[in-house]
Chains A and B, each alone.
Chain A
């Protein structure tokens, strides 16, 4: 069975601080996919990034960066120079593919509420 753990329930930072959201996962699959989604106060789930299990390269997109380490089963998310608009709930999730090439169900962590104060 797959499991995703986001130990940080809530994080509060002051604008311009850097913040890292932790994600630890468990799976028996050798090929899997990791995701981060953002849920702003408006409620929708916004896709941020997908990472394949066979690609451990870290990724940077603007102020966002992701650190994937298979050795520790972690997929952490860092926001540099945080802004008030980054305030949201962030979810880490795990999935794999079924034989037809479709994505299997996502297993979500419990989410981390990030509040960025002005």
Chain B
């Protein structure tokens, strides 16, 4: 079974540009989460999808960040326009739902390292 995948692995952009990150969850996982870790700080929650619906977007820092999960499969996170403080590692995680024995566990992808210059 393939794990969570993220693309790209690294991205270097200039301030003011747009970047789109993609996450493919584990097949069959209805829950998809985005987190980020900015330099030297803790891993912080951004938002949570259940299928294609946003369950919780309380962690989104501002309206420069837009997340979508059309069709309830993969998700994209767009940053537009990017600012210097957006630099960090963006992680995606997924988990099953309902009666699955592992519904409490989130499985993470390798992350996307974003550097805004």
Contact = CB atoms under 8 A, between A and B. Distances in A.
B55 to A, nearest CB: 7
Contacts of B107: 47
A66 interface: no
Contacts of A111: 42-43
Interface string B35-68: 1000001111100101000011001000000000
A103 B105 contact: yes
Closest 8 interchain pairs by CB?
Answer: A45-B108, A105-B45, A44-B110, A108-B43, A33-B104, A102-B31, A103-B95, A110-B42
B45 to A, nearest CB: 4
Interface of A: 33, 35, 37, 42-47, 50, 52, 91, 95, 97-98, 100-111
B89 to A, nearest CB: 7
Given A100-B50, A103-B95, A105-B59, A91 B104 contact: no
Interface of B: 30-31, 33, 35, 41-45, 48, 50, 55-56, 59, 89, 91, 93, 95, 97-99, 103-111, 113
B108 A103 contact: no
B105 A102 contact: no
A43 B110 contact: yes
Given A102-B97, A105-B45, A108-B43, A47 B91 contact: no
A44 B107 CA distance: 10
A80 B33 CA distance: 33
B113 A102 contact: no
15 contacts: A44-B108, A44-B110, A45-B91, A47-B108, A91-B43, A97-B104, A102-B50, A103-B95, A103-B104, A103-B105, A103-B106, A105-B45, A105-B48, A106-B35, A106-B93
B108 A37 contact: yes
Nearest to A50: B105
Contacts of B108: 37, 44-47
A94 to B, nearest CB: 11
